[in-house]
Amino acid sequence: MGISTFLNTSVGMYVVQSFCHSLVAAVLVDRALKAWKIYDPLIRQRFRLIVILFPIFSFPLYQLINPARSSVFFRMEALFDSSRWLTLELGWGVPVGVLFLVMLGATSLVFLFQELIPVLRHTMTPKHSVDEGTHFDAGTFVQDTAKVLAIRKPEVILIDEEEPFLFSATGREAVIYLSSGLTRVLSSEELRAAIAHELAHIARSRRPLLVALFLFRIVQFFNPVVLVKYRRAVRDEEKICDDIAVALTGNRGALAGALKNFYQKPDKKHVLSSLQSSSANMSLEEYSHNLHLESRIARLETEPAGPEPDPLAPFVLTLSAVVLLNYLIV
């Protein structure tokens, strides 16, 4: 089967159009967030859901509305006809469609090795068991905070390790793990703020939306635009949990101080939540991790802005623009 033949099949058209639709949605969403000055991570995450979820359903939805949408006559009137570009030949007679499929294949490998396999490994083989450590006495803070978040109080386990780390296992019975080294470098207020952040992760993990979002992410495993936006949505999740932790403790500075202990360095490995690295050298992933930490710290150390306008109208307008514009992109 040739490239052009594949691209004209239902599967091929779905792959191509979902990529094009996600790209258009990403541009419109980014412009909307900037134009309406939306900085709240929870609201920004909801806008990013348009980019992640819409391409899954756009092609079958448009075909249901107009079965002739993929015909030659419709393509002649369309704003953008992908088949004209993908069949263009580069040097040595290689069509653009080959490079396009190579890009999708590379994205699929990135998804497999950097997202799917680590998630499955983390789910099936937890890093620590409850029996490895000892119970950590956090006073009544964990119990009181769990009650506020309407979750079952998780066990807090102290692991005898010098490397500072803190993470939560958000399974059926949630557990928070922290190292003895961490308890020596954080003040009591910083430790409470860091634990509150993990409690926020546990509470948010109980929401079916986040589980469904990852399952939908799997459907678009080949889409590089969705890959980028999904990772940004995950980073928004960290900031959302930061906000919850601040609301629980009332101490922005304590959480900022705690985060400063989790920079990844060439000679050390620091772990916070799901951001983990096994490399001893400063990699691109570690550099990106540190930049994200700096962004979170700077945000916590800056006085929060006033209340943002109601996002409903911007969201509806953005989604409408995405739906209408992408109808003419085939």
Using CA atoms, how far apart are residues 191 and 173, in angstroms rounded to an integer? 22
Closest to 53 (Cα-Cα) out of 223, 238, 237, 241: 223
Per-residue pLDDT of the chain (330 residues; tens, 9 = 90+): 567 777 778 899 999 999 999 999 999 999 999 999 999 999 999 999 999 999 999 999 999 999 999 888 999 889 999 988 888 888 777 888 889 999 999 999 999 998 888 878 766 655 555 556 788 988 899 999 999 999 999 999 999 998 888 988 877 788 999 999 999 999 999 999 999 999 999 999 877 777 788 889 999 999 999 999 999 998 999 999 999 999 999 999 999 999 998 876 654 444 444 433 333 444 667 778 788 899 999 999 987 777 777 899 999 999 999 999 999 999
Using CA atoms, how far apart are residues 108 and 100, in angstroms rounded to an integer? 12
Pairing of strands 165-169, 175-179: antiparallel
Using CA atoms, how far apart are residues 104 and 97, in angstroms rounded to an integer? 10
- Is 26 in contact with 51 (CB distance < 8 Å)? yes
The confidence score (pLDDT) of residue 270 equals 43
Strand-by-strand arrangement of the 155-159 sheet: 134-135, 155-159, 175-179, 165-169, 271-272
The confidence score (pLDDT) of residue 1 equals 56
Domain enclosing residue 93, as ranges: 3-326
Using CA atoms, how far apart are residues 25 and 194, in angstroms rounded to an integer? 35
- Is 304 in contact with 39 (CB distance < 8 Å)? no
Closest to 319 (Cα-Cα) out of 68, 58, 113, 17: 58
Interior CA angle at 19 toward 15 and 20, to 5°?
Answer: 120
139 conformational bin, left if phi > 0, alpha if psi -120 to 50, beta if neither: left
Angle, to 10 degrees, between the axis of helix 188-205 and the axis of helix 208-219?
70
Instruction: Indicate the residue type of 1.
Output: M
The confidence score (pLDDT) of residue 129 equals 55
The confidence score (pLDDT) of residue 281 equals 40
The confidence score (pLDDT) of residue 287 equals 75
DSSP-based three-state secondary structure for 330 = coil
The confidence score (pLDDT) of residue 83 equals 86
What DSSP string describes 281-307? S--HHHHHHHHHHHHHHHHHHSPPP-P
Q: Which residue's entry shows tokens 């101490």?
A: 251
The confidence score (pLDDT) of residue 271 equals 43
Number of domains the chain is built from: 1
Could you tell me the end-to-end alpha-carbon distance of the chain, in angstroms, rounded to an integer? Answer: 21
The confidence score (pLDDT) of residue 87 equals 84
The confidence score (pLDDT) of residue 276 equals 39
CB-based burial, 190-211: b 16+ in 10 Å, e otherwise: bbbbbbbbbbbbbbbbeeeeee
Structure-block tokens of residue 210: 């986040």
| pTM recorded for the entire structure | 0.86
